[in-house]
Structure 1
Amino acid sequence: MTEQVSAASNAAVDTISRAGWGAELRATFALAWPLVIAQLAQNALHTTDVIMLGRLGPAYLAAGTLATTFLNAFLLGSIGVVGAVAPLVAQARGARDIKAVRRVVRQGCWAAIIISVVMIPLLLQIKPIYLALGQDPLATDMAEQFIQIAAWSMFPALGIIAFRSFLSAYDATRAILVITVLGVLINALIAYTLIFGHFGFPRLELRGAAIATLTTNFIMLGMMVAYVLRHRRLKRFNVLVRFWKPDWPRLREIFRIGLPIGLTVLAEVGLFTAAALLMGRLGTDEVAAHAVALQLASMAFMVPLGLGVAATVRVGIAFGRGDIDGVGNAGWTAFVLGLGFMAVSCTLFLTAGTFLVSLFLDMNEPTNANAIGLAITFLMVAGIFQLVDGAQVVAAHSLRGLSDTKVPMLVAIVGYWAVGLPISYVLGFVFNWRGVGIWLGLAAGLAAVAVVLVARFAMRERLGLMRSRA
């Protein structure tokens, strides 16, 4: 394993020092910064709800966390599948195959519909599933109120991913940013109105948050489709022409590449879902503290995630035109940018934890004291794994640009479930380190995956990942 890390480091230095790295840095930054802010804004959609529910009390925050954790386990895995549109469109752009671009986007929408039809009935079974897992009945009943409405947001949420992947591949990331920021503002207004019952509307609490989520996703999808159909540069693709005409080879290709991506995402999300369930066995304060720390870690994660999306596009375009040096420059540039930011967020979590937690929980409320102390402790552990979390997400997205998704999927499953989860359980319950032990297990799983994926990208030519386009 040490040799692999050394090989990864040497390859990074060699590749990034080539003549084209400066141009690649500028191109990656220009593509990535709107995506990074859009990812932060996307995360703010959920953060807004968390903050508002936190003002209702720890019980509402815990129930909302259980509900959104359950929803995200299905939604993020599905997003990974539809996200295969991004590398496929990028490769088609690199190869200058306009017809393939249109077909991939159209079949990406098909995939979104198919997945939603399958997933929504499963989401509606949250109550029997959570009760079978030993969760608190009252918190489960409250979580079900949210899911009964929010489950239907699968349709627009996955449609957004198909169109966002198309826009990203053609450098229209500022449009993604504007639409996402507008979505945050719309969601905040609707959530504030319905959760607390302002402006003459009834106080709906968790149901209000769910209605805000559903409505905002449909509005954002409508704006994104309108932009694609009306923009001078993009409307020539006619992505919705003969929408109901099947293209089975393209649809199979999306699922062939996307299913491993979805399972990779699901493996990671599942690890954090399992951590939330383990926290649920410790008590409401632990769940509330876990929600706060995880929300802050998720916000920091949006930056390397946005850089990762940019890496998929840049690597995919270079791969599509057979540019071996361009692939390396694109991947390592995103990698260095991602690590640089996560070093900053690590420092912030370790030094400003009390202030960050105060944004979510009222520091003057005596009943919050235990949850606040736990959240600050968890956040310190989260700071430790910021670097490996950034490394693994950028490496995974760079490999996706090469359509390399099956091996990373296996690495993620083994790293998260054979390394991370067992360590979480042993440290949390056998050694009785409770929530801190659970978070240390999360860090161990992320580190294991990061080492292997970075090494795999470094050895991409030796492993034959460049062969089909070189």
Structure 2
Amino acid sequence: MQHRMSYPQHARAVLVLGLPLVGGHLAQFAVQLVDTIMLGWYAVEALAAQVLAGSLYFVLFIVGSGFAWAVVPMVASAHAQEDEVQVRRVTRMGLWISVLFGVACLPVFWFSAPVLRALGQEEALARLGQDYLRVMGFAILPHLVIMVMKSYLSALERTQIVLWLSVGGALLNGVLNWILIFGRWGAPELGIAGAGWASLITAIATVAAVTVYAARILPEHALFQRIWRPDPEAFWRVVRLGLPIGGTSLAETGLFAASALMVGWLGTVPLAAHGIALQVASATFMIHLGLANAATIRVGNAHGRNDTPHLARGAVTVLVISGIVATLTIALFVLVPRPILSLFLDPAEPDRLAILALGVGLMAMAGLFQLADGGQVVALGLLRGVQDTRMPMVIAAISYWGIGMPASYLLGFTFGFGAMGVWAGLVVGLMAAAILLLMRFRWMLARL
């Protein structure tokens, strides 16, 4: 019986499923990381503009990704029931919704300079940010398609291909960045726009690869046959589950984007330090995100079988693994922050010492919110497994915007702690979310 699995057996099952997903997230994240490193070496102004513009892009991308995340429990459930037709219907409509959402975002990206100026950013940064976003606006379409396809493959437990697609994309993006940002091999020197073009070309290549894979290896789903035909019932099912997931992600990423804007009010040096520390913290967050995805799939399976003891043990196992990862990360951030921060900066950069001095403090703060950030994302993964998405959205909105955002502003500006105060507010919001979401999961477990 599966519910008699020991904790070590649960841990092994979680890691077998989760590690390729973690690797896939890290490889996907490496794309952003390489953008940040190369633009930091190109010019601090380009780095600061990319931090701002990237925050705006990521907010819209993460909301659109809610529909891709919704595909995971729906496809996993249909696959467990051997309902290949339902697998096809749900995935197709996930693709439809994602493309429609991407098209709706295009005007925001194209006319983003006035948006960034309205949010209190300097004219030069707003203009550079718009150069980047005009290219990334087109990249969001293939990026969202990739998210749906990866969700579809992950739900079928084909996590190895998800990993290799992500690794291939990261490597291609790195090479194209080097060529297009700096103008190597006879290419024009495009600076920040070059980073956008590298992302767009990489995304198109990845879509081509994943489409060929799905068509050849999984012909039984016939995903792309008559893909233009609407399916209103499946469409609205994906919307109903996906919108609260997107809303939850918006609440969190919106908090981080708002923190970037607030730090932007303090100047270019604090913004550069914030951007680097946030990139490093986000890299380790990808490990927790992969574990959360594994939790969604395993809890979803147990929930479908009405196997509550198995579900509970699996949940405890994922939370413990996440806690161990967070503890190791805290040690890394507190003990060796300077070598990590130095990777992002040209040794000849005039503001290098000022950015490093502030960055060391921000890395200590990033260490503090590792436990909270890991706890809240794994709790969300567990709740999605039992298809509970609406109440988590409400909890996220209260935690991040009712608690975290006011705390960031008060500590950063009212009490004058600057960027460190803004980050302390982030810790408060994430901690509130982790506690409330875990309480919600305990309550759901008691009901089951």
Q: Provide the TM-score with structure 1 as the length reference.
A: 0.93
Deviations 1:408-460 (A, max 9, x none): 00000000001001000001111100010000000000000000111111221
Distance in structure 2 (CA, Å) of the matches to 1:295 and 1:289: 10
Q: Secondary structure at the match of 1:83?
A: helix
2:177 maps to which residue?
A: 191
1:126 maps to which residue?
A: 112
Equivalent residues in 2 for 1:301-320 (5 A)?
Answer: 301-320=285-304
Q: Is 1:32–1:310's contact at 8 Å kept on the other side of the alignment?
A: yes
Deviations 1:45-97 (A, max 9, x none): 01111100000221111011111111001011111222100111112223332
Query: Partner amino acid for 2:25?
Result: Q
Unaligned runs of 5+ in 1: 1-15
1:240 aligns with 2:224: yes
Distance in structure 1 (CA, Å) of the matches to 2:399 and 2:233: 32
Q: Secondary structure at the match of 1:385?
A: helix
Which stretch shows the higher mean deviation, 75-84 or 32-41? 75-84
Are residues 17 and 361 of structure 1, via their aligned partners in 2, closer, same or farther at CA, if it must alter by over 3 Å?
A: farther
Q: 1:151 aligns with which of 112, 119, 137?
A: 137
Are residues 38 and 188 of structure 1, via their aligned partners in 2, closer, same or farther at CA, if it must alter by over 3 Å?
A: same
Moved over 6 A (4+): none
Query: Partner amino acid for 1:112?
Result: S
1:352 maps to which residue?
A: 336
Deviations 1:230-274 (A, max 9, x none): 11xx22121222212222111111111110000100110100111
1:258 maps to which residue?
A: 242
Query: Partner amino acid for 2:151?
Result: S
Distance in structure 2 (CA, Å) of the matches to 1:404 and 1:125: 36
1:26 aligns with 2:8: no
1:47 maps to which residue?
A: 33
Query: Partner amino acid for 1:73?
Result: V
Q: 2:96 aligns with which of 99, 110, 114?
A: 110
Distance in structure 2 (CA, Å) of the matches to 1:244 and 1:326: 41
Q: 1:417 aligns with which of 395, 401, 419?
A: 401
Q: Is 1:92–1:320's contact at 8 Å kept on the other side of the alignment?
A: no
Q: Is 1:408–1:453's contact at 8 Å kept on the other side of the alignment?
A: yes
Q: 1:92 aligns with which of 78, 85, 88?
A: 78
Distance in structure 2 (CA, Å) of the matches to 1:18 and 1:80: 33
Which stretch shows the higher mean deviation, 16-25 or 388-397? 16-25
Q: Is 2:109–2:136's contact at 8 Å kept on the other side of the alignment?
A: no
Q: Is 1:88–1:316's contact at 8 Å kept on the other side of the alignment?
A: no
Q: Secondary structure at the match of 1:225?
A: helix
Q: Is 1:94–1:321's contact at 8 Å kept on the other side of the alignment?
A: no
Q: 1:384 aligns with which of 364, 368, 387?
A: 368
Distance in structure 1 (CA, Å) of the matches to 2:445 and 2:49: 48
1:274 aligns with 2:268: no
Q: Is 1:41–1:181's contact at 8 Å kept on the other side of the alignment?
A: yes
2:51 maps to which residue?
A: 65
The alignment's C-alpha RMSD in Å is: 1.5
Alpha-carbon distance, 1:364 to partner: 5.3
Distance in structure 2 (CA, Å) of the matches to 1:23 and 1:229: 34
Alpha-carbon distance, 1:133 to partner: 1.5
Distance in structure 2 (CA, Å) of the matches to 1:274 and 1:422: 11
Q: Provide the TM-score with structure 2 as the length reference.
A: 0.97
Distance in structure 2 (CA, Å) of the matches to 1:445 and 1:267: 11
Q: 2:327 aligns with which of 339, 343, 346?
A: 343
Deviations 1:183-212 (A, max 9, x none): 011001111001001001111101111100
Q: Secondary structure at the match of 1:239?
A: coil
Query: Partner amino acid for 1:148?
Result: R
Alpha-carbon distance, 1:328 to partner: 1.9
Q: Is 2:84–2:220's contact at 8 Å kept on the other side of the alignment?
A: no
Distance in structure 2 (CA, Å) of the matches to 1:274 and 1:254: 29
How many pairs were matched up?
447
Distance in structure 1 (CA, Å) of the matches to 2:265 and 2:128: 17
Deviations 1:128-175 (A, max 9, x none): 111111110011001110001111111111111111111101111110
Query: Partner amino acid for 2:416?
Result: N
1:407 maps to which residue?
A: 391
1:430 maps to which residue?
A: 414
1:395 maps to which residue?
A: 379
Q: 1:180 aligns with which of 166, 179, 187?
A: 166
Q: 2:313 aligns with which of 329, 338, 344?
A: 329
Unaligned runs of 5+ in 2: none
Alpha-carbon distance, 1:320 to partner: 2.1
Which stretch shows the higher mean deviation, 60-69 or 332-341? 332-341
Deviations 1:274-328 (A, max 9, x none): 1000001101001000000000000000000011111111111222233222322
